[in-house]
A = this chain, B = another copy of it.
C-alpha cells in the first residue's frame, strides 16, 4: 500500500525538509512507518514528491525529492444545497476523489430549514476533509471548498461555467470538450423548489441531466455528476 502524507499547500520545494503536522505524524505511526521509510508527499494544490522520513531529535521531518506539478484540471464546480454538515464532510471527500475543482454550499429554501446544516463555522472541517482525501485517492488536487452562497451568486463566482442540473429525471449528459468548464447544481435533501429549478433552467440556462429513476441522496448525486463529467470529457 502506498503511504501518502499531506503538507501545507505551496510548501513543496525540491530538496526541502518539511515539518509534519501532528495529524500526519500520527497517521504515519498508525501505519507503522519509521525513519528512512519512503512516502509520497502531496500538498493538495497540485504538487507532489517522493519523500523520505528523517528524525531530528524526537521530531520527524520529511526530506523531499524532485517536486512534480500536476497540470491544472478543467474547472468542475459542484454547487450543492447546504444540507447536513456530516454528510457534507463525506461529500467533500467524494469531491476530491471525483476531481471536482470547486465545491459551493448553496443556501436553498429547503436546506435553510435543516438544523444541522453546514454553515460558515463548519467550513474548516469540510476543507480539511477535502484535503485529506488526497491521501486516499492519490489526487494531487484537493477540492476548493468555497463560502456558502445563493444560487444567484453562481454566475458571478463562476461566469465561465456551463451549468448542468442533476436530477432523477432529465436528459442524457452531452459530450464535453476535455477542457470544458462545467458546473453541476444538485439540490439539498428534499430537492430544490420549483422556483429554484426554474431559476436554474431559465437564468443559469442549466441543462437538466438525469441520473436514473431513483431519488439519489445528495452525496450520491455528487458522485454521479463527477463520474459523468469524467466520462463525457473522454474522447471516443
Contacts and interface: CB of A to CB of B under 8 A. Distances in A.
A1 B190 CA distance: 7
Contacts of A177: none
Interface string A162-197: 000000000011000000000000000010000000
> How many copies of this kind of chain does the complex include?
2
A216 interface: yes
B99 A213 contact: yes
Nearest to A233: B212
A8 B138 CA distance: 43
Q: Is the interface on chain A under 10, 10 to 19, 20 to 34, or 35 or more residues?
A: 20 to 34
Interface of A is mostly: loop
Given A1-B190, A138-B215, A231-B228, A220 B172 contact: no
A119 B90 CA distance: 25
A236 B172 CA distance: 8
Contacts of A99: 212-214
Given A1-B190, A172-B234, A228-B231, A215 B98 contact: no
Given A212-B230, A223-B223, 7 more contacts: A1-B190, A136-B215, A137-B217, A139-B213, A172-B234, A172-B236, A228-B231
Interface of A: 1, 94, 96-99, 136-139, 172-173, 190, 211-217, 220, 223-224, 226-228, 230-231, 234, 236
